[in-house]
Amino acid sequence: MTMKNLMIALVMASMVFVGCISDLTPFGGEHVGTFDIDTLGTGTAETDDLIVELELINSTSPIQFHDGTSAQDGAEHYRFRLVVGDADDENSPIYECRLASNSPGACLIIEAVEDGVWMPEEIITLRENSVDICSEGCLNQLTIMNGDITTEQEENLQYLGQESTSGSIGHTTNFWMGQ
């Protein structure tokens, strides 16, 4: 095959994907606050490892922690979802982090000030809660938003993004939990 034919074949093959790309809908949420990663955890075989410490830099409204009930969908109640491994793999474990007072599962949120509200300059800690989420180095994806994270159903979907030096802030944050 000549170089010209190869280029034509590549252009034709890439045209097949144009429709797929244009069918993607952009994330419809509004960025309302920024946090920064203060400390990354280390994975061990224990079941109480530090996952990450987060500092709230700013927000346009109070950030209250969701208790897992539908009564708190939307508004100022935010879900903290952690996907361990490849976020695009449907078999990757997913955890929702909650306060000890809100029936936590495998992931626990610990506040610096125990008042149920994450305030600017406050550091919160995400920890394993009697479950080994990461026993060795693992990739994590964190999403903090006030609506249903999977379906994005919420009339006023809002999210917190990680502080960025590049200027672009997304609705998910990826970080590596070391070993």
Per domain, the residue ranges of the chain are 30-177
Q: How confident is the model at residue 29 (pLDDT cuts 50, 70, 90)?
A: confident
How many whole angstroms separate alpha carbon 51 and alpha carbon 48?
A: 9
Query: Which comes out higher in pLDDT, residue 163 or 142?
Result: 142
Q: End-to-end alpha-carbon separation of the chain, Å?
A: 49
Residue 11, beta-bridge partner list:
none
Q: How confident is the model at residue 25 (pLDDT cuts 50, 70, 90)?
A: low
How many whole angstroms separate alpha carbon 97 and alpha carbon 49?
A: 14
Question: For 31-54, what is the mean pLDDT?
Answer: 95
Percent of the chain exceeding pLDDT 70 equals 78
Is residue 69's pLDDT more than 50? yes
**Can you name the CATH fold of 30-177?**
Immunoglobulin-like (2.60.40)
pLDDT digits (tens, 9 = 90+) for 161-173: 998 877 778 889 9
What token pair was written down for 83? 């996907």
Q: How confident is the model at residue 56 (pLDDT cuts 50, 70, 90)?
A: very high
* Residue 127 three-state SS: strand
How many whole angstroms separate alpha carbon 75 and alpha carbon 126?
A: 22
Looking at residue 150, its pLDDT comes to 66
Looking at residue 159, its pLDDT comes to 92
Which amino acid is it at 33?
A: G
From the list 100, 5, 2, 97, the residue with the least C-alpha distance to 52 is: 97
From the list 122, 167, 126, 171, the residue with the least C-alpha distance to 146 is: 171
pLDDT digits (tens, 9 = 90+) for 85-107: 998 899 999 999 999 998 888 99
